[in-house]
Structure formats: C-alpha cells, structure tokens
Structure 1
C-alpha cells in the first residue's frame, strides 16, 4: 500500500508540475498559444512520468522479491505466484495511474465559475477545447513507445556488455593459471561461462512487457 500511495503521489506531483507550467506560460500569452502551451506541458510531464516509472519499476521489483522471500513459502509455485501478484499490482498502478487520471478524472471535478474546486489554492487543470483525447494520446505515446524503445536498447546492450565482461574474466583467469588455451579448442565450460545468465525468473519482464503494452495499443 505504501508503494501504491507513492505511485499516486508521483502522479499528483506531475499534475502540479503541469499546472505550474501552464500558469507560467500564461504570462506569455502574446507569444505562446494555448495549444503550444498544452502540448509542451503535456509532453514534458509525460517524459518526467516515464522516468519515474522506470525508476519505480526497479524499486518495485526489488521490494516485491524481498517481501516474497520473507514469507518463506513452501513451494516454488507459491513463491512465483506471490511474487507475480506483487509485481503486477505495483507496476500496474505505476504504469496506468497517470493514464487513468487523464482519461477519467481530469476536468471532471473542476467545479463552476461561481466556486472552483482548488488544489493548494490553484484551480484544477482542465481539458483543452477539443477534450482530453489529444493529451491522452501524447501520454500513451511517450510512455508506451518510450518504454519500449528504452527496453529494446537495454536488451541489446546488456547482453553485449555481460558477454564482454565474462570473456574478460575468462582471459584474466587463464592468465593467472598460466595455461593459455587455443580458442578453437576451448572447453565447453568456458563457452558456457561467456553466455548471459538466464536466471530463474527471466520471463517475468517479457510477460509484464506484453501486459503493459497491449492495452496501450488497443
């Protein structure tokens, strides 16, 4: 619950940032149009939200695994089920809190001109004249496409990095033993050691990636 509240608090902080940017840009109404101000504030807020999502995903995975290990479950199946539930719930809130806010809550509770509902003495942000659909599209595009692009780059770079690191470890070990081995006649254990470790839960990110990108695509 603490981590869920932290994710929601991040969304509130991004909303306040967007409100402050719009208020600051309203001073330059003669040089900045309303549509440009909305596009700038939405794009920068979505980029900040994406960075927070990536950081929180790493924290959530670590905390969920730590909490699950503290449960001392009897079987591997129970451990995997409990870990999957924690990771999915935490990352679901982390990914979709801002999207749900724009789609279902933004501009719905602003009040009336006689009495506006305010947050920290500031009026709540409203949708543009064309509605919140454009802002929702920008938010989805930056979060979903940006996350996919960063994951793709990391999935390409990390295996190369670990392969080079393992190869370097093998060379250092052979130099210490003073028993150089011909590359063409390397034992199988050396070839296997250069491979990237698969791990017991390596499919988790793949399933989570499909679960978080398919609703955004639909």
Structure 2
C-alpha cells in the first residue's frame, strides 16, 4: 500500500516539475566522462559518447559484489560473536550463588546483547545445542551444558520484542544525536582553525558560508539509507514489534525539525539537480516489502504459539476446539534420575522424580525415548503450510491492491493528455504559419508584368509567354500585302 501510494505521489511531483521522461534527457556525470576513455557512436544523435566496455563492466561488478559479500561475512561474524557473548553471560550468571542472578539471567543477557547489537540488524536461527535434558551426546563441553536455545518462559516473541525495541529506539536516538551534533562540531572546528577575525567586520559573509559543512553527494545518500533502514524495521519485524510504526512516526516528526535546522544553519546551500525519481531506492524498498512477507510468516509460525495452538485445538483437544489442557500437552516428560552428577541443580534434596520441558517428545519409558512425537511433525507441517499460504495470500492481496490503485492519478493523467493535445495543436499551428510564410515569400519573389517597364529593344517584349511573343493577325495581313 505504501509503495502504491508513493508511486502516485511521485507521478504528481513529476508532472508538477516537468520531470516525466527526464532520464532520456539527463546528461552524463562529469566524473564519468573524465574517467571513461573509450567512446562509441550514439545511434540516435550520431555523435561520439563515453562508453564502458563489457569487460570493464564485469570487472567493476565483481569488485563491488566482492565488497558486499565481505561486509555480509563481517555482519554474520559479528552476530555469532553476540551469540557467543550471550551464551557466556548466561553460563556465568547461572554459575553464581545468587538466586537473583539465576532467575533473571536470560533477561539481563537479552538486554545487554541487544545493546551490543544496535548496529547489526539481523535475526539468526541459533539452532538447538541439545535436544532434551540429560542429553549426553551434545554435552561435550561446558559451553553446551546449558540449554541456551530455549526461549524465555514468556515465549520467543517476547525476547525478540525486547531486542527490537532496544535496537530500533536506541539507533534512532543515536542517529538523531549524531546527525545534529556532527555538523555543529564540524562548523565550530572550521571556524576555529580558519579565521582569527570572527568577531570583526573583516569576517565577511562569504567566509561564514564557506566555513559551514559542505553538502556532498553522499549527504542525500545517507538520508535515503536512514529512511530505508527504518522502513525495514517497520515492515520486516512488525509482527514481533507492533510498536515499530509508532516509533518510526515519532522519529520522523523529530527528524524533520532536525534536518531543517541542519540544512538551514549548519550546511552550505545544496546544488539542485533534476532527477526523474528516487532511482534504485524504490527497487530496494520493493525488495524489502517482499522479504518482509517471508520474515513475518516465519516470526508468526516459529516464534509464537499461534500454529501449535491451532494444531492442538483442531487435532488434539479432548473437549472440542478449546485450549483446555494445551500447556500440559506442550510439555514433554523427563526422568530426573537420568541426570549425571554434573547436571541439574546443586541441591537435589526433595526434587521430583520427573520434570517437564517444552517439546513434543516421547516419554522416558517409550520404545523410542525422547524421540519426536507425531504431534511434532503435525506442528512442523502446519508451520510450513502456514508460511506458504500466508505468502501467497499476501502476494495476491498486494497484486490486487496494485491493480486497483492506478500509478498515476486520474487528474494528473487528464492534465498530461491535455498538455499533449495542446502541444500537438501548437506544433500544427506553427507548421501552418511556417508554410504560409514560405508561400508569401515565394509569391513576392516572382514579380508581375505590370512592374516590368523595361525597354528591351526593337521586336522584344517583356512578356515571357510564347503567346505574347507571337505576331498579331493584323501584322501578318499587312506583311502579306
């Protein structure tokens, strides 16, 4: 919906500023003309123009993509570092003697890890380090003795909500502070090192303007990047963080004022350039929109109890389509006697013979102890089916909305048609006027006989026609006689 409305707004702006089809008229950048040495003949203008050979294009694309892949690897490495940090902190807090630290270990770890993860916006699937309590195969070292992959008792969605809230709000506050403080400090430094006569009349206006922060091509790039990242927060994680649109709106209200102050008081006057649209950024926004459908489907199906509840209601509830007994059904049974000496709590007096944990696994006395139950596979299949159905339904609705909402408003389309009609009529009238002027000039350039009073000699007449040069009948009769 947002992209469709933006296309309509963009069409209105293009019509108002006469930018429709401007990309065909746009001139080459001077930097491009300077670096490119090869030329080729333009088939339209028949003039040589700078041209980058195919091999150079491939080389540049490979270099650019290599840098992008390297940055992605760095982001993934940083994320795994945060994961290891969270595991180490949880283990350290569980090994303390304080009950307060043990009870709040996961909450404290989530908060601190989210603060460290402000600049890395990605959610990875950690995987399971072991499958059930007392699993000896996966407990090969101290790092894997704690079941870190289990979510908080409030659910995985709660932990994701906490992380996204800290990351998004913290990032917005940091960016706004940096965006307003950096130009102020830069202008102050330029004035400090550039002039000693700031308080005198010799400090002219053009010197004051020169000391302001320069407006470069990357200035607008950073503004676009900030908006695209914010759009990603609002769309990709809206299922886990419903307050994201509200925080984005509040941030934009504040940022409009900050940008106005920055550009009017701390930056040099930007040089206006004509462009037809926002360029590649619209494609990026469109890609984020499609990707957000997949991520929200995963968030709903895997980090919430929505699918397991539906499976229980319509397949395993003993009292019809109700959730009575759901909690007990979602907990598997474990025999505590299978704990070794280095597992479980330190104080084992009075502990029960069995305990429960969240999983769909068989009981200890089953033929396949701690194996997956049939309900697990039902939930797994339902989650995959939900992802497919959710994606197709959303894409169908998106396509229907795109077809229902025209890209160009009707008023603008009518005005554009009228402008083309007026343009054709103007060209037709101009062509008619040109033809009339040519005819008038041609008639003036051929004089009539009345104006030719020139004596051409005996026997000659100023008339050019053959009939006028023929002797009259009276002349012939006189000549015969």
**Cα pair distance change 1:193/1:29, threshold 3 Å:** same
Q: TM-score, normalised by structure 1?
A: 0.63
- Rounded to whole Å, the distance in 2 between the matches of 1:118 and 1:202 is 52
**Aligned equivalent of 1:72:** none
Q: Is the 8 A contact 2:186 2:213 kept in 1?
A: yes
**Aligned equivalent of 1:205:** 222
Q: Which has the larger radius of gyration?
A: 2
Matches within 5 A, 1:69-148: 94-96=120-122, 100-101=123-124, 105-106=125-126, 109-113=128-132, 114=135, 122=144, 123-148=147-172
- Rounded to whole Å, the distance in 2 between the matches of 1:141 and 1:116 is 37
- Rounded to whole Å, the distance in 1 between the matches of 2:101 and 2:206 is 64
Q: Is the 8 A contact 2:93 2:101 kept in 1?
A: no
Deviations for 1:115-154, whole angstroms, at most 9, x for unmatched residues? 6657975155321122211111121122111111111111
> What SS does the aligned partner of 2:217 have?
coil
> What SS does the aligned partner of 1:155 have?
helix
Q: Does 1:182 align with 2:201?
A: yes
**Cα pair distance change 1:182/1:15, threshold 3 Å:** same
Q: Does 1:14 align with 2:82?
A: yes
> What SS does the aligned partner of 1:126 have?
coil
**RMSD in angstroms over aligned alpha carbons?**
2.8
Which of 195, 214, 217 in structure 1 is aligned with 2:231?
Answer: 214
Q: Is the 8 A contact 1:159 1:196 kept in 2?
A: yes
Q: TM-score, normalised by structure 2?
A: 0.31
Matches within 5 A, 1:144-155: 144-155=168-179
Structure 2 residues not aligned, in runs of 5+: 1-68, 239-481
Which of 162, 181, 198 in structure 2 is aligned with 1:157?
Answer: 181
**Aligned equivalent of 2:95:** 27
**Cα pair distance change 1:150/1:109, threshold 3 Å:** same
TM-aligned CA deviation for residue 164 of structure 1: 1.4
> What SS does the aligned partner of 1:32 have?
helix
Structure 1 residues not aligned, in runs of 5+: 54-93
Please identify runs of 4+ aligned residues in structure 1 that moved more than 6 A: none
TM-aligned CA deviation for residue 170 of structure 1: 3.8
TM-aligned CA deviation for residue 34 of structure 1: 5.4
- Rounded to whole Å, the distance in 2 between the matches of 1:181 and 1:158 is 26
**Aligned equivalent of 1:167:** 191
**Cα pair distance change 1:116/1:33, threshold 3 Å:** farther
Deviations for 1:170-191, whole angstroms, at most 9, x for unmatched residues? 423x59xxxx9516xx544213
Q: Which has the higher contact order (CA 8 A, sep 6+)?
A: 1
- Rounded to whole Å, the distance in 2 between the matches of 1:116 and 1:128 is 24
Q: Is the 8 A contact 2:111 2:162 kept in 1?
A: yes
**Cα pair distance change 1:216/1:115, threshold 3 Å:** farther
